[in-house]
């Protein structure tokens, strides 16, 4: 198959409920600096971790159709919650390859030389059982403990990482997790690496694993295998979109990405209001 240069220059789409996916984008840009990209932070619907499957399907469909219109050659599901809950349903629906973080990271995690693995994630990810299920496909002997942290995404999205109250919340959640005696703890929500400094006040930094690092390597090797890597020598261009609060996104993003401009506000007409699942 001959793939045109146009296609190779096409952007890679990144999507998350907010700034969390920037932890993935950051790792991808380090090893694929020439790729063009579009980033969509669905900040009007954040947090995704409390939403129903139907809501996540609706939000994602709007965003993925937008990526299709923009001619994206691939889309990175930089969100553990949607990877865990809706990826299987939408994986063949669009005209590009979709890379889901959980499924891509699980194999690497299953190969860790340990017996007890903790997973910090959103409620949606933990209740889906996706991490233990995917890891057990490769290593059924690994004991996987999922714990959700209801306040963490709110803390990060609102740029409250270093205030005393947030630090106390993180310390308490970590204490609870440590009762399981995990040998490693996965930051199984793309927002959570924003808290690595705070977590490291209470436990060794190398206890924590950010799956985005391996995920980025996987994306690179898969794009290469499919002949889809951008072959230009210039640094890629990127554009950021959000569905609400561009200024807050820019402020909260700065730990992983200094935005020169405000992201563009982009909403979809048929998008329903945020409803929490009880």
Q: Which residues bind ligand DGL (CB under 6 A)?
A: 16-17, 20, 46-49, 79-81, 122, 125, 153, 189-191
Which listed residue (72, 149, 189, 257) is catalytic? 189
Whether 79 sits among the annotated catalytic residues: the reply is: yes
Closest listed residue to residue 238, CA positions, set 37, 8, 13, 10: 37
Q: Given 72, 79, 149, 257, which residue is catalytic?
A: 79
> 10 or 83, CB closer to ligand DGL?
83
- Cβ closest to ligand DGL, residue 8 vs residue 208: 208
**Catalytic residue flag (residue 149):** no
Asked if residues 37 and 72 have their Cβ atoms less than 8 Å apart, the reply is no
User: Which residue's entry shows tokens 């889906």?
Assistant: 128
- Phi, psi at residue 176, to the nearest 5°? -65, -45
In the sheet with 143-148, reading across from the earlier edge strand, the strands are: 143-148, 116-121, 184-187, 208-209
Measured from the CB atom, the residue of 8 and 189 that comes closer to ligand DGL is 189
* Residue 225 · residue 200 · CB < 8 Å: no
In whole angstroms, the minimum distance from the beta carbon of 208 to ligand DGL comes to 15
Smallest separation, CB 18 to ligand DGL (Å): 6
Nearer to ligand DGL, 35 or 210 (CB): 210
What is the residue-wise DSSP string for 207-260?
Answer: GEE-THHHHHHHHHHHHHHTT-S---SSPPPEEEEESS-HHHHHHHHTTT---S
Distance CA 21, CA 194 (A): 11
| Distance (Å, whole) CA 260 – CA 176 | 39
- As measured in angstroms, the least distance from the Cβ of 123 to ligand DGL is 8
Q: Give min distance, CB of 242 to ligand DGL, in A.
A: 13
Nearer of residues 72 and 187 to ligand DGL, judged by Cβ: 187
Query: 């007890």: which residue's tokens?
Result: 116
Q: CB of residue 251 vs ligand DGL: minimum separation in angstroms? A: 17
**CA 206 and chain centroid, separation:** 20
Residues tagged active-site: 79, 189
């Amino acid at each position: 198959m001959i793939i045109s240069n146009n296609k190779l220059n096409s952007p890679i789409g990144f999507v998350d409920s907010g700034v969390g996916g920037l932890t993935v984008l950051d790792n991808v840009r380090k090893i694929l600096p020439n790729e063009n990209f579009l980033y969509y932070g669905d900040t009007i619907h954040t947090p995704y971790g409390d939403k129903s499957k139907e809501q996540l399907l609706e939000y994602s469909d709007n965003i993925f159709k937008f990526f299709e219109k923009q001619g994206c050659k691939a889309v990175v599901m930089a969100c553990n919650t949607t990877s865990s809950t809706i990826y299987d349903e939408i994986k063949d629906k669009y005209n590009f390859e979709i890379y889901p973080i959980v499924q891509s990271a699980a194999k690497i995690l299953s190969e860790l030389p340990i017996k007890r693995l903790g997973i910090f994630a959103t409620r949606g990810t933990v209740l889906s059982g996706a991490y233990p299920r995917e890891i057990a496909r490769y290593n059924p002997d690994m004991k996987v403990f999922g714990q959700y942290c209801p306040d963490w995404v709110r803390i990060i999205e609102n740029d409250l990482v270093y205030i005393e109250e947030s630090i106390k919340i993180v310390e308490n959640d970590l204490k609870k997790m440590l009762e399981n005696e995990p040998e490693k703890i996965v930051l199984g929500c793309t927002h959570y690496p924003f808290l690595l400094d705070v977590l490291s006040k209470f436990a060794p930094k190398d206890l924590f694993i950010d799956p985005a690092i391996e995920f980025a390597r996987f994306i690179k090797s898969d794009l290469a295998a499919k002949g889809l890597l951008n072959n230009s020598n210039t640094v890629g261009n990127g554009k950021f979109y959000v569905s609400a609060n561009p200024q807050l996104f820019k402020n909260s993003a700065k730990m992983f990405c200094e935005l020169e401009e405000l992201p563009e506000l982009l909403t979809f007409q048929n998008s329903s209001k945020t409803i929490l699942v009880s």
